Structure 1
Amino acid sequence: MTEDPAEQSLAETTIVSSRDVEEHLEMADLVPTIEAAFAAYENGTAQMPPKSYIDLPQYNGDFRSMPAYLQTDDWQAAGIKWVNVHPDNPDQFALPTVMGTLVYSDPRNGFPLAVMDATKLTMKRTGAAAAVATDHLAIPEASTLGIIGAGVQSYSQLEAISEIRPIETVVISDLDEDRIERFIQAFEDDFEIRSGTVSEAASCDVLSTVTPVESPIVSMDDLGDHTHINAMGADAEGKQELQTGVVRDATLVIDDFEQTTHSGEINVPWSTEEIDKRDINAELGEVVVGNALDCDTASGVTVFDSTGLAIQDIAAARVVYQALEGAGKDIKLTASNQ
């Protein structure tokens, strides 16, 4: 039966709050979806123009625009995220350092299916990317997790990584004792968790670094023989959490060449030519689909340099949208071509 043209002309845009994202973005669903996004990127079924920046040094911040389209065997998705990074926000405005808004669109016709708060979404998809890397690069029996930096991202790191490894013990390191106490209280019923030094955190089976530092804080001597590192904190030029010797000597996996050399963990030693392409073993998408021939993760230290990709955001948005449809979400804007 032919659809009524009037019905075809109407579409609805779902308005998705931060609370909606928190309630409907489950790590059990998100981690495999992010893995599928990396596979699509490697297989050439994703489009992701370079992240563009608007720098605002007068406010110690910046804006970033992140569009993407991706297609897997089972689904497709498209959209764009508009996100900021303002490190002074918590102290000056009682706002998060990172906030974002995402427009999730129907690739078939371009209609915006949803406009969603992307602050929680960014936190969770970042943790999920670390989980995907950990699943492929960490030793299978990894049971200890060190986290350096007890800010908001530390929570999603533990939430996501514990989905794919039997994490029992967590060591959290931060200069802010209040942050450490809040983190411990949030997870003490589920893990053996304690505060520790940078070295104590770094010696765990898995280490996630989630700080904004520009002077490296982790050396090769801090690490265990088989530590896998998720280097998540460096997201702008000049930031560096790991000493250059770590990324040079470890098996190094990146999320995207252009982004990591510009603003990822390797951006500083890359700009000073202390490392080059020979030091990069693979992109994560290559590892996921099994194309990383020059990526020996069976022994030694491994590093995942994550800058955060638009494909992660759009994949995460799809998880939220699908969950909301199943839950009968009904806060709508109605659009018409009339």
Structure 2
Amino acid sequence: METLLLDSGDVDENARMADVVRAVEDAFEAYERGNAQMPPKSYIDLPQYNGDFRSMPSYLDAGDWDAAGVKWVNVHPDNPADHGLPTVLGTMIYSDPETAFPLAIMDGTTLTMKRTGAAAAVATDYLAVEDATSLGIVGAGVQSYTQLEAISEVRPIEEVVVSDLDEERIERFVDAFGDRFDVRSGSISEAGHCDVLSTVTPVEEPIVGPDDVGERTHVNAIGADAAGKHELADDLLVAATIVIDDHAQCTHSGEVNVPYAEGVLTDGDIYGEIGQLVVGDLAGRTDETGVTVFDSTGLAIQDVAAAHVVYEQARKNDAGYEFGMIDPGRQ
């Protein structure tokens, strides 16, 4: 039995977004029903390199399939300028739960972008207005691309407004999608007055206030992935219907972490977890719902779900490189 090695191109080609969105929704359901194991994300801080490592193991039973794996990922903000490397690098080990055999080792960077976009799409499907046709994006980095790719799977997006301080990044984004969508640059407020808004910045001082969003805008708060990060103003959060992916992670390192630590937000201000919407224990958007916020920190079960899609599709397409990492004769 051989292990499949999948590089970033293989992951990109075999992570069909519609399939990843469905798999991530299945993962949220499994987690909510208690059919998943996901220890807390662990961190190794490396201040001498202005970075950190994170390990994210999980197992989930989605009914028709089950899967296990671990992602080893980092955040090193100085990488692009100092080393010509991405800020985030990841490696995913995807294993057979029955035997623990490593079925695949795959690029986790592309996988992370895909599953993060997919999580926002799941939340958008439950919390955005049904006839949403416009998407605003604050932050035109690499994650912005999969936000649009994924959200357009669940809503008929036509207009896209992207806001970023870097005009070159906006130009690259427009060039990438201008033939499929009506894409233009705009202010944060213009982006926020779209039907759906995704914020994908690393800021620690809020940049989106209550006047920057529409009365029924759904916001996917993606950028906060460490303690101290904070994209949305406190008064916006207090007034919104807040849905989180995981209580422990969100209160430690998600969009709500700063106001939660300061006592501005409490558990009573959090409507629920996304899994509760998926299984039907909580209602999604209703006619009375105003601004909604999805606090997405990124869960290990999402990585395993996305890796499942990639592995199964890669096998069908004869993609990747097989190698004998384990010698079955040595027991």
TM-score in same-fold range (> 0.5)? yes
- CA separation in 1, counterparts of 2:197 and 2:253? 20
| Paired residue secondary structure (1:336) | coil
| Paired residue secondary structure (1:82) | strand
Equivalent residue, structure 1, for 2:328: 337
- CA separation in 2, counterparts of 1:275 and 1:73? 36
Mapping 1:120-139, distance limit 5 Å: 120-139=110-129
Equivalent residue, structure 2, for 1:29: 19
| Contact persistence 1:46–1:70 (CA under 8 A) | yes
Residue 108 in 1 paired to residue 98 in 2?
yes
| Contact persistence 1:259–1:307 (CA under 8 A) | yes
- CA separation in 2, counterparts of 1:297 and 1:133? 14
- CA separation in 2, counterparts of 1:328 and 1:165? 32
Residue 157 in 1 paired to residue 141 in 2?
no
| Paired residue secondary structure (1:274) | coil
Equivalent residue, structure 1, for 2:233: 243
Q: Which amino acid aligns with 2:91?
A: T
Q: 1:297 to 1:220 in 2, by over 3 A?
A: farther
Q: Which amino acid aligns with 1:336?
A: D
Q: Deviations over 1:241-287 (max 9, x none)?
A: 00011111111000000000000000000110111000000100001
Equivalent residue, structure 2, for 1:41: 31
- Which of 185, 196, 212 does residue 175 from structure 2 map onto? 185
Identical aligned pairs, as a percentage? 63
- CA separation in 2, counterparts of 1:91 and 1:196? 27
- CA separation in 2, counterparts of 1:19 and 1:269? 39
Equivalent residue, structure 2, for 1:7: none
- CA separation in 1, counterparts of 2:95 and 2:69? 5
- CA separation in 2, counterparts of 1:102 and 1:179? 28
- CA separation in 1, counterparts of 2:140 and 2:15? 22
- Structure 1 runs of 4+ with >4 Å offset: none
Residue 304 in 1 paired to residue 294 in 2?
yes
Equivalent residue, structure 2, for 1:73: 63
Equivalent residue, structure 2, for 1:198: 188
| Contact persistence 2:7–2:320 (CA under 8 A) | no
Q: Which amino acid aligns with 2:78?
A: D
Equivalent residue, structure 2, for 1:277: 267
Q: 1:194 to 1:108 in 2, by over 3 A?
A: same
- CA separation in 2, counterparts of 1:329 and 1:212? 34
Q: 1:297 to 1:283 in 2, by over 3 A?
A: farther
| Paired residue secondary structure (1:31) | helix
Alpha-carbon distance, 1:180 to partner: 0.5
Equivalent residue, structure 1, for 2:161: 171
Mapping 1:281-300, distance limit 5 Å: 281-292=271-282, 297-298=286-287, 299-300=289-290
Q: Which amino acid aligns with 1:106?
A: D
Mapping 1:90-105, distance limit 5 Å: 90-105=80-95
Alpha-carbon distance, 1:40 to partner: 0.3
- Which of 10, 16, 38 does residue 20 from structure 1 map onto? 10
Give the aligned length.
Answer: 327
Structure 2, gaps ≥5 residues long: none
- CA separation in 2, counterparts of 1:149 and 1:90? 16
Residue 222 in 1 paired to residue 212 in 2?
yes
Alpha-carbon distance, 1:61 to partner: 1.0
Residue 322 in 1 paired to residue 308 in 2?
no
Alpha-carbon distance, 1:297 to partner: 4.5
Equivalent residue, structure 2, for 1:268: 258
| Contact persistence 2:276–2:282 (CA under 8 A) | yes
Equivalent residue, structure 2, for 1:5: none
Residue 253 in 1 paired to residue 243 in 2?
yes
| Contact persistence 1:251–1:296 (CA under 8 A) | no
Q: 1:218 to 1:297 in 2, by over 3 A?
A: farther
Alpha-carbon distance, 1:329 to partner: 3.4
| Paired residue secondary structure (1:98) | coil
Residue 53 in 1 paired to residue 43 in 2?
yes
| Paired residue secondary structure (1:163) | helix
Q: 1:329 to 1:185 in 2, by over 3 A?
A: closer
Q: 1:203 to 1:171 in 2, by over 3 A?
A: same
| Contact persistence 1:151–1:179 (CA under 8 A) | yes
- CA separation in 2, counterparts of 1:296 and 1:146? 19
Q: Which amino acid aligns with 1:120?
A: T
Instruction: Give the root-mean-square deviation of aligned CA atoms.
Output: 1.0
TM-score by length of 2: 0.97
Equivalent residue, structure 1, for 2:107: 117
- CA separation in 2, counterparts of 1:146 and 1:58? 36
| Contact persistence 2:10–2:320 (CA under 8 A) | no
Alpha-carbon distance, 1:330 to partner: 6.0
